[in-house]
Amino acid sequence: MSLRSALCSLLVLLLAACGTQAQSPPDAETQISTALRAAPAPMRDAATVLGYDDQMEVTTLRDGTGSLVCLADDPRTDEFHVACYHEALEPFMKRGRELSRQGKSRAVVDSIRRAEIEAGTLSYPDRPTALYNLSGTYDAAADTVRDASRLRVLYVPNETAETTGLPTKPKDGPWLMEPGTPWAHVMIPGQ
């Protein structure tokens, strides 16, 4: 192999490595402040906040005294998305993150979690619990979320259209998603 070919090969490998390197997360203070934007204002001060360390592992950035857990935006994705949910949902959410990190598809993740809930090996609430989402584009310079979209979710385990009186398709208001499953939930669109 000529020196030129070797250098070209090395350059290609370096460019490939740079293109696949994970983006560094923002500092903890930024992750905390942006994650809390999904939470209702009265619950922000007491919320626990999870975020990402330098190895892109989820870690606790702030311990809270309340029942809400907020998850910072994943810097590996293009769209800004933060969520806060009742602490009773954390084992379910954590297990989903673990399975996704293993490369499992959404359908496989759901199948495994459902089997584990039914077997009693995965803790899951048997009462209504809330989740709050905020998505859009985060503008760090202006410290704002452009094109912000809020979605509130109320998990209602195993409920159906018949037991709730809610439609199962989105149509101008709340609707029931995943009816009849342990993670059946009411989608409540908002501003």
pLDDT, tens digit, 9 for 90 and up, residues 51-64: 999 999 999 999 99
- Percent of the chain at pLDDT exceeding 70: 88
**Residue 7: pLDDT above 60?**
no
DSSP 173: S
Q: Please give the structure tokens belonging to residue 140.
A: 């760090």
Alpha-carbon 60 to chain mean position? 14
pLDDT, tens digit, 9 for 90 and up, residues 131-176: 999 999 998 889 889 999 999 999 999 999 999 999 999 988 999 9
Cβ-Cβ contacts under 8 Å for 177 (sequence gap 6 or more): 168, 184, 185, 186, 187
Dihedral, 133, 135, 140, 146 alpha carbons, nearest 10 = -130
Strand pairing partners for 83? Answer: 71, 133
Q: Please give the structure tokens belonging to residue 29.
A: 């203070």
Decide which of 104 and 3 is more confident: 104
- The span from the CA of 84 to the CA of 69, in Å, is 5
Cβ atoms < 10 Å from Cβ of 28: 16
pTM of the model: 0.83
- The span from the CA of 2 to the CA of 78, in Å, is 40
Residue 85 exposure: Cα atoms within 13 Å on the Cβ side: 23
Residue type, 146: R
Cβ-Cβ contacts under 8 Å for 117 (sequence gap 6 or more): 92, 124, 182
- The span from the CA of 110 to the CA of 96, in Å, is 8
- The span from the CA of 133 to the CA of 14, in Å, is 38
Alpha-carbon 151 to chain mean position? 13
Residue type, 72: A
Helix orientation angle between 90-101 and 106-119, rounded to the nearest 10 degrees: 140
Q: Please give the structure tokens belonging to residue 135.
A: 């998505």
